[in-house]
Chain A
């Protein structure tokens, strides 16, 4: 299966977190399927870590469901 460019992931995250003050996507293995994403957004404010990660998973639901993303590491930060 062909990998996914970081730009595609980034676009999905920008859609879901338009107010993000920090948004980084790293292709950890250079193969387009193991990613580390970092998002700082006001949407996370007041949410548990579980619900924060749920929002990121939801934003990336399609590539997670079809197996394009083999591994996803998430770091979230709530902003005021």
Chain B
């Protein structure tokens, strides 16, 4: 296993809510990444964002790990939730909040902080 692979795994497994996106929450570089971010924000999720643009290898390693071909990708406590369409749909139906409450506890909104981490 290489270092990048290990770092990506560490984020997926170690962060409550991990969002792999194009750009950062401060400077989103893709409409779908923005849709996923806004859906997570609307549910009050504590988002840890990873910008995949600095190195094409990030996306390759990530997709190999998750089996999901496109960006963005959202994970809650190590489990893939889906891409922008799924997260948006789950946010609209209220299921996203349910999942977050189940996995992170009912007070998950209190811990809300948005941060960005780098893997390269």
B interface, CB within 8 angstroms of A: 30-32, 67-70, 80-86, 89-90
Residues in B whose Cβ lies below 8 Å from that of A57: 68-70
Chain A 54-80, CB-CB to B under 8 Å as 1, else 0, gives 100100010011000001111100000
Chain B, interface SS category: mixed
Q: Are A75 and B68 in contact (CB under 8 A)?
A: no
Q: How many pairs, one residue from A and one from B, have CB atoms within 8 Å of each other in the complex? A: 32
The complex places the Cα of A53 from the Cα of B82 at a distance, in Å, of 8
Q: Which of B30, B31, B69, B82 contacts A61 (CB 8 A)?
A: B69
A interface, CB within 8 angstroms of B: 49-50, 53-54, 57, 61, 64-65, 71-75
Q: Are A53 and B85 in contact (CB under 8 A)?
A: yes
Q: Are B81 and A73 in contact (CB under 8 A)?
A: no
Q: Which of A49, A50, A72, A75 contacts B70 (CB 8 A)?
A: A72
The complex places the Cα of A50 from the Cα of B86 at a distance, in Å, of 7
Closest 6 CB pairs of A and B: A64-B69, A49-B86, A50-B82, A74-B85, A57-B69, A73-B85
The complex places the Cα of A64 from the Cα of B31 at a distance, in Å, of 18
Q: How far is the CB of B68 from chain A (nearest CB, A)?
A: 7
A-B contact pairs, 6 of them (CB 8 A): A49-B82, A53-B82, A57-B70, A61-B69, A73-B32, A74-B83
Q: Are A50 and B81 in contact (CB under 8 A)?
A: yes
Residues in A whose Cβ lies below 8 Å from that of B90: 49
